[in-house]
A and B are shown apart, each in its own frame.
Chain A
Amino acid sequence: MPDILITLITIAIVVGATLLACSYLIWVERKLSAWMQDRVGPNRVGIFGLLQPMADGLKFLFKEEVIPSHVDKVLFLAAPCISLFTSMLAFSVVPFGPVDEAPWFMRFIIAPQIDIGMVFIFAIGSLSVYGVILGGWSSNNKYSALGSLRASAQVISYELPLGMSILGVALLGGTLNLEQIQMQQVQAGITGWYIWTQPLACLIFFAASMAEANRLPFDLSECEQELVGGFHTEYSALKFGLFFIGEYTHVITISFLTSILFFGGWHLPFIAELDSAYPFAWLVKLLVLLFKVAACIVMMMLLRWTIPRFRFDQLMGLSWKVFLPLGLMNVVLVMTVLQFHWSRVWLFPGSILLFAFAGAIAVSAKQRELQSRPQAHRRVTPPGSSAGGESALAVH
């Protein structure tokens, strides 16, 4: 079969599967959040509301396309397309299965053997913020503009810790190619998964990529309480749907990256090993990877409905004061270990130590802040009573 045909088939499968997955992820998220809040969730369209995504999609398609008169039409229409296009494009270098064992009609990666794989993903993925910025700017609405400003500041800030966190993996693996990184973990077995040598990087990567995908608790760019809808305030119908699908595609990409970079990709001991040669092994491996990805996505959803939203200065502080230094120190740690040919086993306690170090700094900083508050020295002792606040309450 000619290569171009295989590529086209693969693209068709990936786009279709991604769109379907996006719509059903929205269903899963709605159901999960409903369960967490003792609600029922969608249950009207089809059994368990399983046809709800179809109904939503139809609604998006057939709703009136409202383009407000005060918007910049070209950019207004381009923004959601950019958002979806970049998210989809980033997926093209993600290996979504055992690449070497693909069935005859498709590949498990759209663009194989891209040596700059991870750099490509981050470059394209951060382009998706252009969709957000252009959407907010062209809406000609202060809420949208504020939302997109926040989004741009946030994405720029979280790019750095994101890059830092994968730098360790790239150093350990000696490559930026996602297929090779996955293959190294498969060959090394479960102890070779990069989660054991790079736990801190995994944490930073997960948190920072959630921030980059504008997921709660980092969705400051569209927080309803402050900014109505944020950058998509003026968007409706299919254009809003495109933004939404773009966001969910980003989530899927992140989950694939987390699984591949830190959790061994399609590798699972005894079930999906390098030399497992039973029929349809490729399907099992694919399912293993998809299971890991699903676990990541569910984790993100759980976090979304558990943690309250950050304040914007806290968000920035977390990026610049915590994640960036931690990521840098993690890279230094990896470099040190590699340079002096120490055992990689030391990377795990080293990461834990770094994390503890950051915690200790945070505690001392908080204590100093409490000390420096004016209230700390202003406590008034009422005349006639010997002790402080509590007895003052009791007297009056």
Chain B
Amino acid sequence: MSMKPTDVEWVEEPEIGFWEATFIPAIISGLKTTLHHVTHYKPVTQQFPEVKPNLPLHYRGVHRLNRDEQGRVKCVACMLCATACPAHCITIEASDAPPEWPDRDKFPASFVLDELRCIYCGMCEEACPVDAIELTHIYDLTGRTRHDLMYDKNKLLNVFDNTKNNPRDPVRTGRGKLGPASKFEELPTVAPATQVQDSDRSAQAASPGVIAPEPKEGT
């Protein structure tokens, strides 16, 4: 559809008066604004190393590999996280689980996560059937070389040891259990990763007019 001349609205500069032409009132009002900021000085800056930011609970930072109640790595090397990862930053080498671990077939012989390639989207966490990989609130990640930031299994388990008691980083689901994938006989009820209140709109039936427009009368 082409534009018609009537579609164009010509906006004209407002006419300027005497005082605007002398610049003086504009300069004075500008100075008033800036001086007001000096006299009513309220910076919102956080002094970072001394004051840590209060991050939201769903913040996605450095990953961790959870342990079960026996201290073993929860991961069963199913490769779902590596498959789900859009950045291809997870490399897992699976191997047969040792005989003293009867509840699973495989475990990760090596689990390397490139924190520099990761885009922290959290899809590994969503994909994991045994709640083994989770994202913590740790954001100040530094390293001297690129190799330092290739997090292997030990480092990721260390992150778990360091963050498991932090109230900001609870083990999200099935705390202390291995997870549903390893128990084929009796599947526990899977709780949602985020608790949904009954009063929440997402837990209720779709109300008319919210999602789809109401059908018009007579049609």
Contacts and interface: CB of A to CB of B under 8 A. Distances in A.
A39 B6 contact: no
A376 B7 CA distance: 17
Nearest to B20: A363
B37 A363 contact: no
A304 B19 CA distance: 21
Interface in B124-150: none
Interface residues of B, number: 29
B191 interface: no
Contact of B34 (A306, A356, A376, A392): A306
B21 A307 contact: no
Contact of B38 (A32, A360, A378): A32
Contacts of A383: 6
A392 B12 CA distance: 15
A370 B13 contact: yes
A294 to B, nearest CB: 16
A362 B22 contact: yes
A375 B12 contact: yes
A39 B38 CA distance: 10
Interface string B7-28: 1111011011111011000010
Main secondary structure, interface of A, reads helix
A370 B12 contact: yes
Interface residues of A, number: 35
Contacts of B44: 38
Interface string A190-205: 0000000000000000
Contact of A389 (B9, B13, B35, B47): B9
Contacts of A358: 22
Interface of A: 32, 34-40, 302-303, 305-307, 355-356, 358-360, 362-363, 366-367, 370, 373, 375-376, 378-380, 382-383, 389, 392-393, 396
23 contacts: A36-B34, A36-B37, A38-B42, A302-B31, A302-B35, A303-B31, A306-B31, A306-B34, A307-B30, A359-B22, A360-B21, A363-B21, A366-B15, A366-B16, A375-B10, A375-B12, A376-B12, A379-B10, A383-B6, A389-B9, A389-B10, A393-B9, A396-B6
